A and B are shown apart, each in its own frame.
Chain A
């Protein structure tokens, strides 16, 4: 009986030790290899972010080097050729660690705006799980909205 107690106590100590090293990643809110994207937009530079309370979503606007440099230095929508913007939109969920906050849940869409030699930038919409290219019936309005966003200001 005593042996059993000792074993149980040792197990409890071991298990609680394992618990401490559990990593705290928001896996569900991330991009996966199965998503049909040519790059991981989450690894680009964040420009600004926005919230849509009526849809309970939150979006972060990312840019590649060229786009980020433009956003940092110019307050206009005329991104140069080679600039790529991604508007990544997540469903929100309540933050289990802070009542009063929402954090990203699953990604519901990724929009890519790519500036080429043409006057109209190239627009791609990715949706579904895994994310794959889908058609958009609202392309021009979405481009206009995305390129109108300005960098979040810091001193």
Chain B
């Protein structure tokens, strides 16, 4: 019994001593204004569920201030602000604000946010079904094209003419990305793995797959994808025609995922690259810009980081009608 008491006393002393060891002071409570142009109801939800880690306003619980919890909380907040800081809202252009909200909402839907270990101790950060539907309804109103709704036909004079002034003739002059990936001009000759209608930001995409990718789909070997797979997601602006249909307008960007489990081990087995605009400007400010790609693709890590569910591309082995019977 005495021995037990002794151990307890030592532990207590160690715990008290630990309290003098604190994480580097971070800015906790600069008030964050409500997000401009966002309804009060939505602001309240974001403030309650997101602001503690994603703004300069933090409401710490008493246990968050105790060592070692304070270290964990400080790292959550530092990482959270780096990913998204609502205190910088006004610095963003409107389309970027909207994209940020769609991105954040999809992180919530996928269950990635709020982080489970954080939500376990801070249950009011969790979003209930009502909050989720409030956010969803709001996002529907800010989508570039309203889902499930007719588009007013464009007047003939307003139909945007898509003219490419100077088609690039020498692709070897296109700059590689900062993570050392060279442009792959051949993707237009590949097969379409799928298509996507991004009404949230008014773009439309064809996802191309190279021969290895198509073979992997035909052979049901897409999780993980084999080395040598390349997927190219090409985005165009949605362009409204006189009959109210939408066709591919101006080129926005092309993004590549290049599978090589060994070479790209540090980036989840994929090389990530994106070229933007008609001059094919490589995306990214530093060599580790691909962390941004990975964090967006993280919710689909169980699909080998690939969002697209490919169309089945082999007619001989495949028979959906028998399967459903």
Which A positions have Cβ atoms within 8 angstroms of B? 19-34, 39-40, 42-46, 48-54, 56, 58, 60, 62, 72, 92, 94-95, 97-104, 129-130, 149, 152-155
Of B195, B199, B323, the most chain A CB neighbours within 10 A belong to B195
Residues of A within 8 A of B299 (CB): 97
Interface presence of B196 (CB below 8 A): yes
Q: Do residues A51 and B222 form an inter-chain contact, with CB atoms below 8 A?
A: no
Query: Can you list, as one digit per residue, whether each of B166-191 has a CB less than 8 Å from chain A (1) or not (0)?
Result: 01100000000000000000001101
11 A-B pairs with C-beta separation under 8 A: A24-B306, A24-B309, A30-B320, A32-B321, A46-B191, A50-B246, A60-B206, A100-B143, A103-B194, A104-B311, A129-B321
Cα distance A19–B302 in the bound complex, in angstroms: 8
Interface presence of B11 (CB below 8 A): no
Q: Do residues A100 and B201 form an inter-chain contact, with CB atoms below 8 A?
A: yes
Cα distance A28–B312 in the bound complex, in angstroms: 9
Q: Do residues B320 and A27 form an inter-chain contact, with CB atoms below 8 A?
A: yes
- A33 interface neighbour in B145, B280, B315, Cβ under 8 Å: B315
Interface presence of B150 (CB below 8 A): yes
Query: Can you list, as one digit per residue, whether each of B97-121 has a CB less than 8 Å from chain A (1) or not (0)?
Result: 0000010011001100000000000
Q: Do residues A101 and B280 form an inter-chain contact, with CB atoms below 8 A?
A: no
Shortest C-beta distance, A106 to chain B (Å), equals 9
- A100 interface neighbour in B200, B311, B312, Cβ under 8 Å: B200
Q: Do residues B320 and A28 form an inter-chain contact, with CB atoms below 8 A?
A: yes
Q: Do residues B106 and A155 form an inter-chain contact, with CB atoms below 8 A?
A: no
Cα distance A149–B300 in the bound complex, in angstroms: 34
Residues of A within 8 A of B110 (CB): 97
Cα distance A50–B239 in the bound complex, in angstroms: 9
Residues of B within 8 A of A97 (CB): 110, 299-300, 307
Additional pairs, 5, CB under 8 Å, beyond known A24-B306, A54-B151, A153-B164: A23-B223, A33-B315, A45-B189, A153-B251, A155-B251
Of B204, B214, B312, B313, the most chain A CB neighbours within 10 A belong to B312
Residue of A nearest to B299 (CB): A97
Cα distance A29–B313 in the bound complex, in angstroms: 10
Q: Do residues B315 and A20 form an inter-chain contact, with CB atoms below 8 A?
A: no
Shortest C-beta distance, B173 to chain A (Å), equals 12
Q: Knowing A58-B195, A102-B147, say if A33 contacts B189 (CB, 8 Å).
A: no
B contacts with A, residue count (CB < 8 A): 75
Q: Do residues A60 and B220 form an inter-chain contact, with CB atoms below 8 A?
A: no
Shortest C-beta distance, B295 to chain A (Å), equals 15
Shortest C-beta distance, A14 to chain B (Å), equals 16
Shortest C-beta distance, B61 to chain A (Å), equals 31
Residue of B nearest to A129 (CB): B321
Interface presence of B318 (CB below 8 A): yes
Q: Do residues A51 and B238 form an inter-chain contact, with CB atoms below 8 A?
A: yes
Cα distance A100–B314 in the bound complex, in angstroms: 29
Residue of A nearest to B296 (CB): A98
Shortest C-beta distance, A100 to chain B (Å), equals 3
Residues of B within 8 A of A26 (CB): 194, 309-312
Q: Knowing A60-B192, A97-B299, A154-B234, say if A24 contacts B222 (CB, 8 Å).
A: yes
Residues of B within 8 A of A98 (CB): 106, 307
Residues of A within 8 A of B206 (CB): 46, 49, 60, 152
Cα distance A26–B110 in the bound complex, in angstroms: 19
Residues of A within 8 A of B204 (CB): 49, 51
Interface presence of B217 (CB below 8 A): yes
Residues of B within 8 A of A25 (CB): 217, 220, 222, 309-312
Q: Do residues B223 and A100 form an inter-chain contact, with CB atoms below 8 A?
A: no
Would you list the 7 A-B pairs with minimal beta carbon distance, nearest first? A100-B200, A30-B312, A152-B248, A40-B315, A46-B192, A26-B309, A102-B197
- A42 interface neighbour in B167, B244, B246, B313, Cβ under 8 Å: B313
Q: Do residues A99 and B321 form an inter-chain contact, with CB atoms below 8 A?
A: no
Interface presence of B289 (CB below 8 A): no
